Amino acid sequence: MSFDNEVEMLEAWANFVQHVDPDVIIGYNTSNFDLPYLLERAKTVRATAFPFLGREKNARTESKDTHFSSKAYGTRDSKHTELQGRLQLDMLQVMQRDYKLRSYSLNSVSFEFLGEQKEDVHHSLITELQNSGPEARRRLAVYCLKDAYLPQRLMDKLMCLINYTEMARVTGVPFNYLLSRGQQIKVISQLFRKARVDGYLIPAYKGDGKCTKSRHLHRWR
């Protein structure tokens, strides 16, 4: 499959996503690089039909900057891309959150847990390989396939999807929050559940940085 220009290629990929209609999109650093880069590139080349990757029709897919701060996980600036109706599982975020490793590169992580590594192609060689003959492009194709295949192997090996799905079910926290929020939201969600069972209502206060965090329980009859 080949395309005459980049706009056709990007829009064909977006159509492929809609046709396959995946429940879960996985990858490695897809949250902070792949998805934001694709959206920015589509904007640059004016691929107007590209940024509709979710299940909700006419809902534009956008990437936004987020700031996360937690005593357990530290402070981190990242990006969030809302894909309506689809779960996202970025294996880099899983590794950084659940495992203490010396390096979090896909090569290092894959060797640690799978005993294998991806094809060694430096990013500066990608254009040269693409413009070369079939054998060079074959090497580039293997590189891209490994880049997509290894995160799936990691997910299966470490049972990440199963574990996070069960955590979301038990705590009542949305799946995507488990990688983007801290531990407190799990506790608060449990308190809300228990309060509801016992007939209490917990008002939600939107903090402005000045008010206290105290909440009052009101029992309904």
| Same domain flag for 89 and 193 | no
- Domain of 205 in residue numbering reads as 183-219
Annotate 180-189 with b (16+ C-beta within 10 A) or e (fewer).
Answer: beeeebbeeb
d(CA 175, CA 180): 10
pLDDT score recorded for residue 77: 76
| Same domain flag for 95 and 193 | no
| Ordered per-residue pLDDT tens for the chain, 221 residues | 788 899 999 999 999 999 999 999 999 999 999 999 999 999 999 999 999 999 998 899 999 988 777 666 667 778 889 999 999 999 999 999 999 999 999 999 999 999 998 877 888 888 899 888 888 888 888 988 999 999 999 999 999 999 999 999 999 999 988 888 878 888 888 888 888 888 888 776 665 544 444 445 555 54
- Contact of 180 with 66, CB cutoff 8 Å: yes
- Answer whether residue 174 is part of any domain: no
| Same domain flag for 10 and 45 | yes
| Same domain flag for 86 and 132 | yes
- Answer whether residue 173 is part of any domain: no
| Same domain flag for 188 and 163 | no
pLDDT score recorded for residue 46: 95
| Same domain flag for 39 and 70 | yes
- Answer whether residue 206 is part of any domain: yes
Amino acid at 199: G
- Contact of 165 with 175, CB cutoff 8 Å: yes
| Same domain flag for 128 and 51 | yes
| Same domain flag for 109 and 196 | no
Annotate 44-56 with b (16+ C-beta within 10 A) or e (fewer).
Answer: eeebeebbbbbee
| Same domain flag for 188 and 93 | no
How many angstroms from the chain centroid is the CA of residue 217? 36
Domain count, the chain: 2
- In DSSP terms, 27 is beta-bridged to 90
| Same domain flag for 192 and 94 | no
